[in-house]
Structure 1
């Protein structure tokens, strides 16, 4: 949490969309399967380009994605042994970021290297620590749904949404927006059950009531048929818990007996200099039914269903971003208490930008 004695502007009074995500956490920048041996991938954390390198042997490492010579992306280079060579003049950099070879210079004349980032792999993702590297060992990786639990089947997803990352947190936390999904979910209404909050986190709990008989097939296959009575609202017995544990977000669904039947992990990584685009990394874990192979049969239907829901969310969040841009700032009139508290959490835990007319990220490492 930011130092309360710091003389910087009060984050609670600033525009939420001018609050950058705190770099002192582990963020996934790519899926492990997408980075082959002897290859590189170019990624971004905000305005910071980062090259991920997987040598022929050894673990992945992450470097600033530019050659110190002519600033050409190292992600376009050639992996050679435990190093990557710039595609332009062949300057070579090791996992420490130090320049270890310039083909046309003597070894005693090597220039300075580039920045390196702590890097780990977990849950099929490549995580990078973009902030103060000295803090990396003391900051744990997040809980990654049930990706390592064989009782669950897990789906990966990573859409790009053209909006500030805070819109994503608000969207999932506020289940009152089910009206948006009426074509996919039918007539369903969220019922707020309570909340919990503490150092760096906030959680909301909901149940849902269905007032029509339009239960989606994917929902029925996973949770079972909810018996409908046209004369009254029917309670959906599952409890949905949504938690932002900064900077990550999770959604858990428990059945009437308290057993976990679905868990979502998601993190929203800014991938543009102006903060107006976000790369999502998500894991959706679903409890395998007792019937063997049934989960494999319903998996395509679940994928179609969740994709349709997310596309509706994507469209609305991008409209929110466009409105922020057109209106010149955040003019939201928020009335739901849990979302108001969420917004405060995101402001306090994040990094306030300089208040300039142009919403450009100004965070520098070490500032």
Structure 2
């Protein structure tokens, strides 16, 4: 574990100045598929309906059966490649809209209506993805399906707690997911939000780094300027508190990110944010940001209900400003064809190293240094999607019943 000095200079022990970065261009490193990624809001996948989703260029069809179970299939019919997300849910199966081939939740073909039971059938159906629902989101496991059972979903204790109320965000951002991690972790960009939060002074108290995570602690003080009312309400200033210094803890624990804000004198967060940045296209230059903002309820519960629209407008405005910045960074990368950033903040150099080390080089067959790798890099499973250099997936045999 790497730990910063207690003086808060931001320089790591045994590190007098930022070291040059090693390894591939971070913007050419893909998100490792061996994790659970949200791909839709649960409420968008209605009973008896199919919807389209995507992960890193892989088109996925989600459908909720009559019994209320959500399944995830490769979004193409094995017959003519028409998207299954255009299909019709019948009971516990999904039927293609074109020639009415029917699929079970695991991707096996359950019926080809114009063939008799003894006729020859295709040897394969389509790929089925492990899928789980939690926190109002639909998660899929796009990597090695054998690892899904032993890979945990993120543990969000505040979600569903009677002491917190959750605000959900779902937005597409036209940038590589790594820009989002860097943006949230580097609180020195508060000048960007000066019209919303006034003048904020962030002081880095210290940070720790492990092979899979970076956690930073900042002390925030309001140094002047007009502060958006929603900002004060979110920090409990307007819900019975007062203007004070706040301690913010931000953590990238691959592949997710969290933020906790604890007001001065409090022993628990006024709010907690969990976020995931899910790549959409095969080159991973666009991602979908899912966020769960869990806000502590005040003693008078109605106060939060009244403040909710103001908090929503404030957070949407901050997110819009951040999105403008990170999309500009992505455009610069697209124009230059490489990462020409001159990063000087050791904290961000560390998170870049974590993202690079846990990701998968796009178009390659092995992760840079994936989770569980020891003494080198573990090979990517043969079943990974072709975008990662895998050999494809063996689909289950068709079922003629």
TM over 0.5: yes
Count how many residue pairs are aligned between Structure 1 and Structure 2.
345
Match of 1:191 in 2: 203
SS of 1:90 mapped into structure 2: coil
Equivalent residue in structure 2 for 1:345, among 343, 354, 359: 354
| 1:237 and 2:250 matched | no
| 1:363 and 2:400 matched | no
- Does the Cα contact within 8 Å between 2:363 and 2:389 map onto a contact in 1? no
TM-score (norm 1): 0.90
Equivalent residue in structure 2 for 1:138, among 122, 129, 150: 150
Match of 1:330 in 2: 339
The alpha carbon displacement at 1:197 in A equals: 2.0
* Structure 1 residue ranges, 4+ long, deviating more than 3 angstroms after superposition: 225-228, 364-367
Q: Any unmatched runs of 5+ in structure 1?
A: 1-10, 229-235, 356-360
Deviates more, 1:11-20 or 1:89-98: 11-20
Deviates more, 1:65-74 or 1:210-219: 210-219
Q: Any unmatched runs of 5+ in structure 2?
A: 1-20, 365-385, 393-401
| 1:90 and 2:100 matched | yes
Equivalent residue in structure 2 for 1:64, among 71, 74, 83: 74
Alignment of 1:233-312 (within 5 A): 236-255=244-263, 256-312=265-321
Q: Distance in 1 between matches of 2:222 and 2:318?
A: 17
TM-score (norm 2): 0.83
- Does the Cα contact within 8 Å between 1:132 and 1:366 map onto a contact in 2? no
The alpha carbon displacement at 1:150 in A equals: 1.3
Equivalent residue in structure 2 for 1:110, among 115, 121, 146: 121
| 1:246-300 deviations in Å (ceiling 9; x for gaps) | 0000000112332221100000001112211111111001101112300001110
- Does the Cα contact within 8 Å between 2:164 and 2:296 map onto a contact in 1? yes
Match of 1:217 in 2: 229
The alpha carbon displacement at 1:145 in A equals: 6.0
SS of 1:104 mapped into structure 2: coil
User: Structure 1 pair 227/148, CA: closer, same or farther in 2 (3 Å)?
Assistant: closer
